[in-house]
Structure 1
């Protein structure tokens, strides 16, 4: 008897959850965006309990990614599919020039997931870290490029790099509103404000991109953070 009652309660709860979910999906019940699983990702909004789920879903859905990128604050233009220098194919990429608050050291090509990840990183982690560490916002991100038709580590016997599809970018430094410049050369001074800031930047990057590689990974990454939206989850 008790088992039957429990079974009915479970079924009733499941039916209620389905009905509630449909009501939210059909907009009969309107939830705040941060609590609505069907609302698009807004990288500028405060994080909520569904943010990580929305980020993952958006990165794996081209239409959702395009829609979220359009409201991200990045300034970009869509590029036609093409074969880049070196023969690597560029598909569904954009050319990013700046964001609302940040200039880049040079425009760069990026897949939608990479561009959106960078916007998410800027709003959720980079700017908060700069404000906490220096009381200043980041005005400029320095990088050494995204697209490069090559294999991993420039080796002939390795797999094609995420750079070969503009799905990666190498970040080398950050310039604050007051002109201060923080580069990866400060990484080894871990106890300094710059060293602490750079470690917060890395942790934020690890939460924004699939792969983040920095000075702790190997000597090849001593001067930059490599971030990409490739198939592997790595934070080093």
Structure 2
């Protein structure tokens, strides 16, 4: 009898837990690993992994951008030597749901990077700018995305995510009030600019597979490296 009571209690506990999970999942679909990605939803516990998963679903990625009001231009495939080139390139166009301009203009990135940039703007960059700087961001300055090279420009070794336009290097931000914030000049700032830069770095870690800042090494002293590298089933993420 005692054994059956224990089994009944275990079943009741599991059932209650399942009901709690079901209720939470209905109210917070962004936190459930099995719900489809929706760029209109808040950033959730599995948003970053779902964004990386778009690497193999270019049509779905572009559809998600369109449904969320992001203006973009699909780019023709590009071929390069070795691993270089891309087939899912897009250019984010200012307007619609995307307020921030990218400078220089005409940047080509993989679609998963573009989708993460849009979410980064909405949920991280603009909120951090208002909180720490009292204004919004008008422009993101960057060092580019596509670059047919290996990591650190070496002649051997692994190819960089830049070789497939699956990364972007962010150099700084131009604010609505005319101020500029740069990674090179302001990363060590103890005031509002430094807090802003760390906030956008930390927030990017929920959206990109890799986020590297000046805290990582000297090679990143002047930019934030953001990419959507695929890292197997475990989907571990690099954030430094």
- Per the TM superposition, whether the score is higher than 0.5 is yes
Residues 169 and 58 from structure 1, CA distance in 2 versus in 1: closer, same or farther, beyond 3 angstroms? closer
Residues 4 and 86 from structure 1, CA distance in 2 versus in 1: closer, same or farther, beyond 3 angstroms? closer
Instruction: State the SS of the aligned residue for 1:208.
Output: coil
Q: How far off its partner does 1:44 sit?
A: 4.5
Partner Cα separation in structure 2 for residue 208 and residue 150 of structure 1? 24
Does 2:18 match 1:41? no
Q: How far off its partner does 1:144 sit?
A: 1.3
Is the contact made by 1:33 and 1:39 (CA closer than 8 Å) also made in structure 2?
no
Is the contact made by 1:130 and 1:138 (CA closer than 8 Å) also made in structure 2?
yes
Question: How much is the aligned-residue C-alpha RMSD, in angstroms?
Answer: 3.1
Partner Cα separation in structure 1 for residue 89 and residue 39 of structure 2? 19
Q: Deviations over 1:22-57 (max 9, x none)?
A: x99xxxxx945647846543444444xxx1224423
For 2:220, the equivalent position in structure 1 comes to 221
Q: How far off its partner does 1:104 sit?
A: 0.9
For 1:122, the equivalent position in structure 2 comes to 121
For 1:97, the equivalent position in structure 2 comes to 93
Which of the pair has the greater relative contact order for Cα pairs under 8 Å at 6+ separation? 2
Is the contact made by 1:186 and 1:194 (CA closer than 8 Å) also made in structure 2?
no
Is 148-157 or 59-68 further displaced after alignment?
59-68
Aligned length: 227
Gap runs ≥5 in structure 1: 25-29
1:235 to 224, 235, 239: 239
Is 183-192 or 99-108 further displaced after alignment?
183-192
For 1:200, the equivalent position in structure 2 comes to 199
Is 102-111 or 138-147 further displaced after alignment?
102-111
Partner Cα separation in structure 2 for residue 56 and residue 64 of structure 1? 15
Partner Cα separation in structure 2 for residue 172 and residue 163 of structure 1? 15
Partner Cα separation in structure 1 for residue 160 and residue 30 of structure 2? 37
Partner Cα separation in structure 1 for residue 31 and residue 152 of structure 2? 42
For 2:175, the equivalent position in structure 1 comes to 176
Gap runs ≥5 in structure 2: none
For 1:27, the equivalent position in structure 2 comes to none
Instruction: State the SS of the aligned residue for 1:207.
Output: coil
Q: How far off its partner does 1:73 sit?
A: 3.8
Does 2:131 match 1:132? yes
Partner Cα separation in structure 1 for residue 30 and residue 194 of structure 2? 36
Is 78-87 or 52-61 further displaced after alignment?
78-87
Residues 177 and 92 from structure 1, CA distance in 2 versus in 1: closer, same or farther, beyond 3 angstroms? same
Instruction: State the SS of the aligned residue for 2:159.
Output: coil
Q: How far off its partner does 1:204 sit?
A: 1.3
Residues 13 and 182 from structure 1, CA distance in 2 versus in 1: closer, same or farther, beyond 3 angstroms? same
Does 2:79 match 1:83? yes
